[in-house]
Amino acid sequence: MSDADYSLQNILTNLAVRVGEMEGLLKAFREQWRDQDTAAGLGRSVTHGKIELLTLQVERLANDIMHLQQDFAEFKEEVDAEVMPHILTGKYARERKAGAKAAIAGVYAGAVVLISALAYLADRLVAWLTHK
C-alpha cells in the first residue's frame, strides 16, 4: 500500500470511528428523549388524575354545601315554629316590665309634682291668711 492509500485508509477509519461515535451519541439522545417523553406523558397523566380527583372533591363539597343549606332551612323552620315563640314571649315580657316601670315612674313624678304644687299652694294660702 502506498502512503496515499494508507493515509486514505486512516482518514476513512477515523471517519468511520467518528460516524460510529455520532451514531452512538444520537442513539443515546434518542433514548434520553424517549425516556423524557415517557416521563412527561406519565407526569401529565398523573397531573390529569389529580385534577380529576380535585374536581370530584369540589363537586362533593358543593353537594355537601347544598345539603347543609337544606338542613339550615329546615332547622330555621323548626326554630321559628318552636323556639322563637318562647324567645318572643320573654322579649315581650321584658318590654312589658320596662313599660310598667316607665309608667310607674311617670305616675310617681306626677304625684310628686301634684304634692309639691299643693304644698306650695297651702304655704301661699297660710301666708296670705296670716299676713293680716
Q: What's the pLDDT at 116?
A: 94
What global pTM score does this model have? 0.40
| pLDDT tens per residue across span 76-120 | 888 788 878 888 888 888 889 999 999 999 999 999 999 999 999
| Cell digits of residue 77 | 323552620
- Position of cell 467518528? 18
**Sign of torsion, CA 122 124 127 132?**
negative
What gap in Å lies between CA 20 and CA 26, rounded to an integer?
Answer: 10
Q: b vs e for 48-69, b when ≥16 Cβ sit within 10 Å of the residue's Cβ?
A: eeeeeeeeeeeeeeeeeeeeee
Q: What's the pLDDT at 1?
A: 53
Kindly report the length of the chain.
Answer: 132
